[in-house]
């Protein structure tokens, strides 16, 4: 791959990293400043986190910022329950990408990421699913699509996806929980 081809990919990855960081920081600041007002919606808390995580992970190839709701939820509610609920919602939402890969075999060859991600999945399928589910990154949906295309059994895919998504969600929720406490300390509140 030439430098010209690699540069837009690196730029996209950095753009996603910066975007995730900005979403996390914005979520922490929002909860620190508006926490009391947001607590009025506590009855909707866990179901809303589940639903938002499900919807944001059901999008195929268009990453949506669902991690922010997990950070906010961790600042408002029990971060461990937020992590479990968020991870479950994300895993169920990912089944949409799995189904897309399972049913759209011919169209996948046209996608620019497909050969690289297929190589990862062919060599390290289960590890790839777990690692990409654990880290905020733009390649997870692609890996799930490839998992569907490769007919990875759901009995193998789902537990590893769920474990990775719970780890990612709990980490985000704990960042929200402790980040908000730290920010409130700095703000004197």
SS3 107: helix
Q: Is pLDDT at 116 greater than 50 in this prediction? A: yes
Q: Is pLDDT at 150 greater than 60 in this prediction? A: yes
Domain count across the chain:
1
Q: Which residues contact 162 (CB under 8 A, 6 or more apart)?
A: 87, 88, 91
pTM value is 0.75
Cβ atoms of 140 and 96 within 8 Å: the answer is: no
> Domain containing 128: what range?
3-187
User: Alpha-carbon distance 75 to 178, whole Å?
Assistant: 7
- Higher pLDDT: 32 or 68? It is 68
Kindly calculate the radius of gyration of the chain based on its CA atoms and give it in whole angstroms: 18
> What's the confidence (pLDDT) of residue 2?
46
User: Alpha-carbon distance 86 to 53, whole Å?
Assistant: 6
């Amino acid at each position: 791959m030439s430098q010209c081809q690699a540069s837009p990919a690196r730029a996209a990855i950095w753009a996603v990293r910066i975007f995730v960081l900005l979403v996390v920081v914005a979520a922490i600041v929002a909860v620190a400043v508006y926490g009391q007002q947001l607590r009025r919606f506590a009855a909707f808390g866990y179901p809303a986190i589940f639903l938002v995580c499900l919807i944001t992970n059901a999008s195929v190839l268009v990453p949506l910022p669902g991690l922010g709701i997990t950070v906010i939820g961790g600042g408002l509610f029990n971060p461990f329950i937020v992590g479990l609920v968020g991870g479950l919602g994300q895993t169920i939402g990912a089944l949409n990408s799995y189904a897309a890969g399972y049913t759209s075999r011919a169209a996948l060859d046209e996608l620019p990421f497909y050969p690289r991600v297929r190589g990862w999945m062919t060599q390290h399928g289960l590890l790839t699913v777990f690692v990409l589910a654990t880290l905020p990154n733009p390649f997870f949906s692609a890996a799930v699509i490839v998992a569907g295309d490769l007919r990875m059994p759901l009995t193998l895919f789902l537990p590893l996806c769920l474990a990775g998504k719970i780890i990612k969600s709990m980490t985000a929720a704990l960042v929200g929980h402790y980040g908000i406490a730290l920010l409130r300390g700095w703000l004197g509140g």
